[in-house]
Amino acid sequence: MISFVDPLVSGYTVVDFRNKALSLIEDMHHRKKLPIIVGGTNYYIESLLWNVLIDTGQGSDTESENGGTPESKAELEKLGGPELHRRLKEVDPDMAAILHPHDARKIARSLQVYMDTGVPHSRLLEEQRGQDGGDCLGGPLRFQNPCIFWLNYKMNALDERLDKRVDQMLSLGLIDELRDFHLRFNEKMIKESSQDYQHGIFQSIGFKEFHEYLTASENLSQEECDKLKMKGVESLKQATRRYARKQNKWVRNRFLKRPSSNVPPVYGLDVTDVTNWETTVLTPALEILDCLQKGEQPSTQPIRAEGVESRNKRSHHMCDLCEKVIIGDLEWTAHQKSKNHLYQVRKRRKAEHPSDQDTNPTEHKNVIDRFIGLQ
């Protein structure tokens, strides 16, 4: 069995995690053992199940095939989205067309891939997706007959459990631990204006939420300090609940709704009531594994995704009214219905037809609907 802590907390990049984990999995297969991945971030687990990453085989300190030492991803990101987007357009216009001009992280990654390999990132992704068993999200599955156990809860029970976990962490000395870490590693970075809480361990949930409290002036009263601490506690609870929902959404969209038949079965196990763990989780899971290893059909059926719609997550839309670039069909639909966009529609309409301001509300709505339909 392979059990990982959250790789973001351990400091592993997704490539580091994948390479170390695959080495362990290969060793276990040689010893006729069954690897089981427990916990961690779904994006990292996906990198084990599917061939979805571009491995340049280069380090940030090695020379690129184009000559010179390539800039690190972090250094590239400091240039800002617009400048990075301009550079990417020159070497990989196809990739630039599907990345938002302000998404510095992803643009920097594509530039880094090009500098390390001399091949446009978009071409490498296209080759990967074109492999037998690949799809629009990446290459084929790495292993034969894998399966996924999705431990799901009723959301109200999960929220209560997550809040209690935060309270337990506080009772075990979380604040003292954060203060010590801040003084040893974070304070200097803040003074040098080099801290953005977007890289490595600093992006982990549970630290940045207490930024105001940890950096508060010594002149603040105890009451004001307590308010900042409680604000951090509530932010931590909210971020934890939000992350749990994000993980569930990832399972639905990337596993259940993956647009191909190249998907492992996903079995749902209800862990709302942990007092029934053996009955509702352990026993069904062992029965499923036993059947799959014997080549038999388990009595428990995998979850079936319903209503899967074909959406292009990388489509490029330009809203001239709002002067915004929107990436993705779903995001474009949401933007067209947003208050800001509808306000711009009304503003444009009034400018073009000033005499129509007394139009009745129904007719006004129809005009807006027709305008949206033309976008």
Could you please report the per-residue DSSP string of 92-116? Answer: -HHHHHHS-TT-HHHHHHHHHHHHH
State the Cα–Cα distance between residues 325 and 347, nearest whole angstrom: 20
Give the bridge partners for 117, in sequence order.
none
Render each residue's pLDDT in the chain as its tens digit; 375 residues. Answer: 444 444 444 556 788 889 999 999 999 999 999 999 987 788 888 899 988 877 765 543 333 333 334 457 777 877 888 999 999 999 999 999 989 888 888 899 899 899 989 999 999 998 888 888 888 778 889 998 899 999 988 999 999 999 999 999 999 999 999 888 888 887 777 776 766 666 667 778 888 899 889 888 888 999 999 999 999 999 999 999 999 999 888 888 888 887 767 788 999 999 999 899 999 999 999 999 999 989 899 999 999 865 445 556 667 788 988 888 888 777 888 888 888 888 888 888 888 877 655 555 554 444 445 444 444
Task: Please give the pLDDT value at position 360.
Answer: 53
Task: Please give the pLDDT value at position 67.
Answer: 36
C-alpha dihedral (26, 29, 30, 32), degrees to nearest 10: 160
Task: Please give the pLDDT value at position 60.
Answer: 38
Q: Are 205 and 246 in contact (CB under 8 A)?
A: no
DSSP conformational letter for 251: I
List, as one string, the DSSP characters of 162-200. Answer: HHHHHHHHHHTTHHHHHHHHIIIIIHHHHHTT---S-SG
State the Cα–Cα distance between residues 270 and 303, nearest whole angstrom: 12
E strand or H helix that includes residue 247: helix 222-250
pTM to 2 decimal places:
0.67
Compute CA 57 distance to the chain's CA centroid, rounded to the nearest angstrom. Answer: 24
User: How far, CA to CA in Å, does 256 sit from each of 144, 151, 152, 244, 327?
Assistant: 18, 14, 14, 17, 23
Give the bridge partners for 268, in sequence order.
150
Give the bridge partners for 363, in sequence order.
none
Give the bridge partners for 150, in sequence order.
268
